[in-house]
C-alpha cells in the first residue's frame, strides 16, 4: 500500500472558519514534522502521537495498526509549555502556524489533548543518552512540560521552505508516480523520515 497524502481540499467557508481559530506557533523543525506527517511518511500515524502511541514507540519501537505491529522508532510529538496548554486546553480546534514560513495555517489540530512530556525518559529510551553533546537531546530537555496530541489533524498547506529543495520533498504517492513514469525496474531508496536524519540526505 502507498501511504496516502493527507493534504485535502477545503471549502471557502472552512478556510474562513479556520482563520478565526486560536493559533499555536511552532518553529522550523516542528514544521518539518508537520510536513513529514502530512505527506504520509509516518504512516499509519496521521497526527502527533498520543501518550499510548509514544509509550509504545519509545519502549517497543513499534506502532499498532489494524492488529499489526508496524516498525516506528522515532517519536513524532508537539511540545507545549504550561502556558500554551492552559491557553488552548478548552479549544475544540487549534490552528498551527510557523512565523518563519509566513502567516498561513499549516494544519489544524482537531479535539486536542495534552499529557505530560517525560523529557528525560524520552531521551534515554530513544537516544540512550541525556548528554548535551547529542544533536537532539538539549532541545527536548528544554522544551515544554506537556505534549499535544488530538483525535485527528487536518493538513491545509503543503509545507514549503523556499530553499531550492522543495521539489525534492516528494510524497510517497508522488515518488510512486515518478517511478512509474520512468519505467524503473530497480529502485534504491534511503528514507530521511525526520528532521534529525535529514542531514544524511544533505551529505549526498
- How much is the pTM? 0.87
Q: What percent of the chain has pLDDT over 90?
A: 65
Residue 1 has pLDDT above 70, yes or no: no
Owning domain of residue 178: 12-203
188 or 101, greater pLDDT: 101
Domain-located, residue 2: no
State pLDDT tens for residues 4-44: 778 878 888 888 899 999 999 999 999 999 999 999 989 99
Question: Is residue 161 in some structural domain?
Answer: yes
Q: Is 67 part of any domain?
A: yes
For residue 4, tell me if it sits in a domain: no
- Mean of the pLDDT values across residues 32-60? 94
Domain presence at residue 5: no
In a domain, 1, yes or no: no
Q: How many domains does the chain have?
A: 1
- What pLDDT is recorded for position 8? 78
Residue 6, domain member (yes or no): no
The CATH number that applies at residue 67 is: 3.10.400.10
**Region of residue 63 (left: phi > 0; alpha: psi -120 to 50; beta: else):** beta
95 in any annotated domain: yes
Q: Taking 80 as the threshold, does the pLDDT of residue 198 lie above it? A: no
Round the average pLDDT of the chain to a whole number and report it.
90
* Chain segment 64-104, per-residue pLDDT in tens: 999 899 999 889 999 999 999 999 999 999 999 999 998 89
Amino acid at each position: 500500500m502507498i501511504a496516502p497524502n493527507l493534504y485535502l481540499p477545503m471549502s471557502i467557508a472552512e478556510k474562513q472558519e479556520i482563520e478565526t481559530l486560536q493559533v499555536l506557533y511552532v518553529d522550523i523543525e516542528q514544521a518539518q514534522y508537520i510536513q513529514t506527517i502530512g505527506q504520509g511518511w509516518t504512516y499509519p500515524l496521521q497526527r502527533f502521537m498520543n501518550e499510548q502511541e509514544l509509550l509504545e514507540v519509545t519502549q517497543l519501537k513499534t506502532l499498532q495498526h489494524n492488529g499489526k505491529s508496524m516498525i516506528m522508532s522515532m517519536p513524532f510529538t508537539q511540545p507545549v509549555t504550561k502556558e500554551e496548554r492552559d491557553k488552548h486546553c478548552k479549544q475544540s480546534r487549534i490552528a498551527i502556524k510557523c512565523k518563519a514560513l509566513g502567516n498561513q495555517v499549516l494544519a489544524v489540530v482537531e479535539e486536542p489533548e495534552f499529557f505530560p512530556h517525560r523529557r528525560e525518559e524520552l531521551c534515554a529510551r530513544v537516544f540512550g543518552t541525556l548528554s548535551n553533546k547529542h544533536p537532539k537531546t538539549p532541545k527536548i530537555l528544554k522544551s515544554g512540560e506537556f505534549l499535544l496530541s488530538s483525535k485527528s489533524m487536518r493538513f491545509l498547506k503543503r509545507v514549503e521552505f523556499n530553499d531550492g529543495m522543495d521539489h525534492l520533498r516528494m510524497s510517497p504517492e508522488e515518488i510512486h508516480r515518478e517511478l512509474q513514469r520512468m519505467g524503473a525496474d530497480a529502485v534504491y531508496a534511503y528514507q530521511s523520515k525526520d528532521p534529525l536524519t535529514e542531514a544524511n540526505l544533505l551529505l549526498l
